[in-house]
Structure 1
Amino acid sequence: MIFLVVFLALVIDKLTDWRRVVQDDGPWLRLLARVDGGAGTAYGPWLSLFFLVLLPVLLLGMLLLALEPLAYGWLSLPLHLLVLLYSLGRGQGKRELGPFRDAWRRGDDEAAALVAERDLGLSATDAPGLLRAVEAQLLWRSHQGFFAVIFWYVLLGPVAALAYRLLALTIDHAKSEAVCERASQFRHAFDWLPVRVLLASFGLVGNFVAANRAMLEDLLNWGVPAPQLLAKVGPVAADLEGAYAGQAGILRLDSLAALLVRARILWYAAIALWILFL
């Protein structure tokens, strides 16, 4: 059922707008508004995380346990699908990147900087630095919006996938610095293994020697954040050239996107083989 749920989620994501309907964060954001009062939250960071992350995860686990004995577990399939769709990343990466690509292709650095700050929340002191920041965000959004979620869903089921997404939402929306810090620590733990699996995938579908050389130094380093590791290894695995200006910069983004597509295909094949021989 795992492969079927992943396949259906990807088809729905690509062919319909149902993901936006499923990803209604309104109820959770209202819970966040009650629990998180900023720096002076009355609940404390650990109790806040209990209400925001652990409690929904426990409720989901209990519901799955109740559905599992019914109809050989097939009644839980719609719930698996809904949770996986909800746990995928927010936003439309290609659509949000479109205006930046147009400005960069024209060679209008000022417009590209304004668009990057408006649509992507990025800024840099020079044009090459801005493009590198966009490349790093593209890699990070793909990891936290897709690869990490799929990894934990396949390994531990919808409970882990939902926990990952709720931690990400807490980091993005919580006002309390203490709550964000605790959530960031947990997400770092969640990211440690899947980001290294993803980088190994980059080596298999990209420049194997260069990617492994770049990754080897920090392979077992717990302190390196996942975005930093992705920004270091991803461009090397994609064999990006040194040129940044105009069309050359667009080709860099296209090469990274192609690397991510190849990694997805590799993951689909690996999941299918893992399910087949399990």
Structure 2
Amino acid sequence: MSFLVLLLVLWVEKFSSWRARIQQDGAWLRLLAWAQRHSAFQHNPWLQLAVLVLLPLAALALLLAVLGVPLHGWLTLPVHLWVLVYALGRGDPLVALGPFRDAWRREDVEAAYLVAQRDLGVEAADADSLLQQAQGYLLWQGYQSFFAVIFWYALLGPLAALAYRLLALTVEHSEDPALRARAAQWRHAFDWLPVRLLAGSFALVGSFVAVSRVLLQELLNWNMPAAQLIANSGRAAEEFGTTSLGESGVSSLDGLWQLLVRAGVFWYAGFAVWTLLF
């Protein structure tokens, strides 16, 4: 059933408007605000994290247990699909990159700086590093929005996928530095394995030698940030030379998106083989 859900989520993502309807974070954000405001949880980030992550996971586990008995568990399929769609990343990185691409194509560096800061949340000292930041943004969003979620769903089911997204939302929306730090620690642990598998996939669908040089140096480095590793691996896979303003810089972003698409096809082929064999 897991592989069927993985196929259905692609249909929901590409051919329906359900994702925007499902990804409603209002109730969880109210829970976050309550946990940060309530005196019993203040100065106790672990207790806050338990309420924000473990409580929804317990409710989901109970629902799956109840629906898993009749009809050989097929009643859980829509729940799996709903959770997996909800666990996908928020927004569309290609849409967010649109104004930056337009400014870069026009060779308008000042506008590119402004829209990168506004839409992507990135800053840089010069034009070359700005483009690298935009490339890293695209690779990171592709990874955390899709690959990390489907990895944990395929490996451990909907509870793990939901846990990953709730940790990501906590890091993004929490106003408590201690809570944000604890959530970031757990998210780093969740990212450690799938980000390396995706980097390895880049080696198979891109430049094997170039990615291997990057990946072997940092393969067992626990402290290496996931965003940095995936950005370095993605750029190595495409073997970018010196990119400049104009169409060549925009083409580099298109090349990285196609790299993510090829890696996604490779992962789904691997999931299909795993389902047939096991």
Report the CA distance shift for 1:38/1:137 in structure 2 as closer, same or farther (over 3 A).
farther
For 2:259, give the aligned amino acid: L
Q: Answer whether contact 1:100 1:112 (CA < 8 A) is retained.
A: yes
Q: Answer whether contact 1:35 1:43 (CA < 8 A) is retained.
A: no
For 2:96, give the aligned amino acid: E
**Cα drift, residue 39 of structure 1:** 12
**Cα drift, residue 75 of structure 1:** 0.2
Q: Answer whether contact 2:235 2:256 (CA < 8 A) is retained.
A: yes
Instruction: State the match for 1:93 in structure 2.
Output: 93
Instruction: State the match for 1:52 in structure 2.
Output: 52
Instruction: State the match for 1:23 in structure 2.
Output: 23
**Cα drift, residue 70 of structure 1:** 1.3
Report the CA distance shift for 1:251/1:258 in structure 2 as closer, same or farther (over 3 A).
same
- Greater than 4 Å deviation, 4+ residue runs: 38-41
Q: Does 2:165 align with 1:184?
A: no
For 1:227, give the aligned amino acid: A
Instruction: State the match for 1:224 in structure 2.
Output: 224
**Cα drift, residue 41 of structure 1:** 5.5
Comparing 64-73 and 104-113, the one that deviates more: 64-73
Report the CA distance shift for 1:234/1:38 in structure 2 as closer, same or farther (over 3 A).
farther
Q: Does 2:158 align with 1:158?
A: yes
Matches within 5 A, 1:115-130: 115-130=115-130
Q: Answer whether contact 2:41 2:47 (CA < 8 A) is retained.
A: no
Q: Answer whether contact 2:149 2:161 (CA < 8 A) is retained.
A: yes
Q: Does 2:215 align with 1:215?
A: yes
State the TM-score, normalized to the length of structure 1. 0.97
Whole-angstrom CA distance in 1 between matches of 2:226 and 2:61? 28
Q: Answer whether contact 1:167 1:187 (CA < 8 A) is retained.
A: yes
Report sequence identity in percent.
Answer: 54
Whole-angstrom CA distance in 2 between matches of 1:98 and 1:89? 18
Instruction: State the match for 1:35 in structure 2.
Output: 35
**Cα drift, residue 8 of structure 1:** 0.7
**Cα drift, residue 241 of structure 1:** 2.2
Instruction: State the match for 2:11 in structure 1.
Output: 11
Report the CA distance shift for 1:268/1:39 in structure 2 as closer, same or farther (over 3 A).
farther
Q: Does 2:267 align with 1:267?
A: yes
Instruction: State the match for 1:77 in structure 2.
Output: 77
Report the CA distance shift for 1:39/1:116 in structure 2 as closer, same or farther (over 3 A).
farther
For 2:225, give the aligned amino acid: P
Q: Answer whether contact 1:39 1:177 (CA < 8 A) is retained.
A: no
**Cα drift, residue 22 of structure 1:** 0.1
Whole-angstrom CA distance in 2 between matches of 1:2 and 1:251? 35
Q: Secondary structure at the match of 1:36?
A: helix
Whole-angstrom CA distance in 2 between matches of 1:186 and 1:5? 26
Whole-angstrom CA distance in 2 between matches of 1:190 and 1:241? 32
Q: Answer whether contact 1:41 1:176 (CA < 8 A) is retained.
A: no
**Cα drift, residue 68 of structure 1:** 1.2
1:208-257 C-alpha deviation (Å, 9 max, x unpaired) = 11101111011011111101111211100112221222111011111111
**Cα drift, residue 38 of structure 1:** 10
Whole-angstrom CA distance in 1 between matches of 2:262 and 2:241? 19
State the TM-score, normalized to the length of structure 2. 0.97
Whole-angstrom CA distance in 2 between matches of 1:59 and 1:43? 25
Mark the runs of 5 or more structure 2 residues left unpaired by the alignment.
Answer: none
1:108-165 C-alpha deviation (Å, 9 max, x unpaired) = 0011111111111111111111110011111111111100000000000000000000
Whole-angstrom CA distance in 2 between matches of 1:63 and 1:265? 32
Instruction: State the match for 1:131 in structure 2.
Output: 131
Whole-angstrom CA distance in 2 between matches of 1:39 and 1:259? 48
For 2:67, give the aligned amino acid: L
For 2:258, give the aligned amino acid: A
Whole-angstrom CA distance in 2 between matches of 1:225 and 1:234? 14
